[in-house]
Structure 1
Amino acid sequence: MAFKWNSNSYCLMTLTLMVTLGIMLQLTPTEACSCYPEHAQTAYCEADYVIVAQILRKSKVKSNGNNVYKINIKKEYKMNPRAQKLLKQGKLITPASDSMCGLQLEINQLYAIAAQDIHVGLCSFVRKYHEMTIVEKRGLAGIYRKGCPCKIKPCFSSNCNVTLGSCNWTPWESCESMYGSCIPARGTLLDGSPAKCHWRRSPMYQKCKNGTLE
């Protein structure tokens, strides 16, 4: 059956296009760059390198529309051979434009970075080190390694199903986000992966859940 084109169809299409463009124009650069929530443990486990680095300077000349930052690695928690080669010159590259998910890093500031490449952006795990909790710092230093066989699955409702070898995580819940690490419980599947995982009941995590954090 052929589609009958008429003025009503044209008006509807024009109105839809105008509304869509209007919404896009109202988005801030950060909103236009959508990032899927990622727990610090997931960032650690999936990263080729995990470091704490000081930002020394930003290149005055942009390279292909990117800002290039010179860094000094203060702590190295995880590093595979490929990442070691990439970071040999001590550089991080990020889009110069916020609308392209670029990062604006502060000179002399310490950042914790967990990534696969020297190209980083708003969706990368790049956090000011002094703003992280002691649990997150210790996690990146190696505590998270124990939980890498587990999967942390973002959950946006109160009734998410618990799947094998995973912990549900609500990104806006501070206890799991800032004080939690997901670790294997007893029991494994035939392939050796954990059958169950749970949030580690560390003293800080328990205090957070009990509302007794100072």
Structure 2
Amino acid sequence: MFPVLLIVILGCLSQRALGCSCSHVHPQSAYCNSAVVIRGKFVAQTDSEKREHWNQYRIKTTKVFKAPEDMGDIEVVHTSKTESLCGYEHKSTNRSEEFLITGSIVDGMVVITACGFIAPWDSLTIFQKKGFSQMYEKGCSCQIVPCYSVPCEVTSDQQCLWTDHLMQRSSTGAGSQASSLACLDMGKGLCTWETQKSRLLTTIRKSKAH
């Protein structure tokens, strides 16, 4: 699957005068559409050694949730210095603070952008932490469809309607579906919203049936 984050970068390239514009995504979509998902600490920032007008952040990776099998240790991530190209600026000065970091791979580099899902690890809910470590991967065959205004609907059994934007009256969509639900395949291509608890019960029922 072509990384969505790279598409975002290319989209920004064609809209320099307009600046960077990002769409909020469900954390599961962020996981599934990213080539790299890690937990780590930002320890230093310098000019990129590979690209002019780019920054590189030295990362101390503490956990790899997703990355190409042939990729070695992730010690550096790159980002544009230009805001209109969706460059990411790390503002925290706490080098001991862990972050959930999603990125794409461009020309062999791990690239992060302002449109990526980058958040302090401790700010995530317990379910989101479990999602990034285990559950979201199981739902990557499903598609989460944001609903910004009614009417809205899904067009296939593999889609889950994300209504946090409506229910929370929030542009970020930071509601219950983002904080405590995952869109998972229940079998035969049918995807539905699941909690960690309901997924566990389903697994138990299936094991008993066998």
Q: Which residue in 2 is equivalent to 1:149? A: 141
Q: Which residue in 2 is equivalent to 1:94? A: 79
Which of 135-144 and 168-177 deviates more?
A: 168-177
> TM-score scaled to structure 2, two decimals?
0.69
After superposition, the Cα gap between the structure-2 partners of 1:91 and 1:185, relative to the gap in structure 1 and judged at 3 Å, is same
Query: Which of 55, 61, 70 is matched with 2:58 structurally?
Result: 70
After superposition, the Cα gap between the structure-2 partners of 1:167 and 1:61, relative to the gap in structure 1 and judged at 3 Å, is closer
Matched, 1:103 2:77: no
1:121-164 per-residue CA deviation (whole Å, 9 max, x = no partner) reads 11122222121111111100011122112111111123212222
Question: For 2:134 and 2:36, how far apart are their aligned partners in 1?
Answer: 12
What is the number of residues matched between the two proteins?
A: 165
Give, in angstroms, the shift of residue 182 of structure 1.
0.5
Runs of 4 or more, structure 1, over 3 Å off, are 60-63, 201-204
Matched, 1:133 2:122: no
Q: Which residue in 2 is equivalent to 1:181? A: 182
Does the CA-based 8 Å contact 1:167-1:199 persist in structure 2?
yes
After superposition, the Cα gap between the structure-2 partners of 1:182 and 1:94, relative to the gap in structure 1 and judged at 3 Å, is same
Q: Which residue in 2 is equivalent to 1:39? A: 26
Question: For 1:111 and 1:76, how far apart are their aligned partners in 2?
Answer: 12
5+ long unaligned stretches in structure 1: 1-28, 189-193, 205-214
Larger Rg: 1
After superposition, the Cα gap between the structure-2 partners of 1:148 and 1:60, relative to the gap in structure 1 and judged at 3 Å, is closer
Cα RMSD (Å) = 2.5
Matched, 1:166 2:153: no
Give, in angstroms, the shift of residue 169 of structure 1.
0.8
Question: For 2:196 and 2:75, how far apart are their aligned partners in 1?
Answer: 35
5+ long unaligned stretches in structure 2: 1-15, 166-172, 199-210
Which of 56-65 and 145-154 deviates more?
A: 56-65
Does the CA-based 8 Å contact 1:92-1:120 persist in structure 2?
yes
After superposition, the Cα gap between the structure-2 partners of 1:154 and 1:61, relative to the gap in structure 1 and judged at 3 Å, is closer
After superposition, the Cα gap between the structure-2 partners of 1:60 and 1:140, relative to the gap in structure 1 and judged at 3 Å, is same
Query: Which of 113, 122, 134 is matched with 2:114 structurally?
Result: 122
What percent of counterpart residues are identical? 27
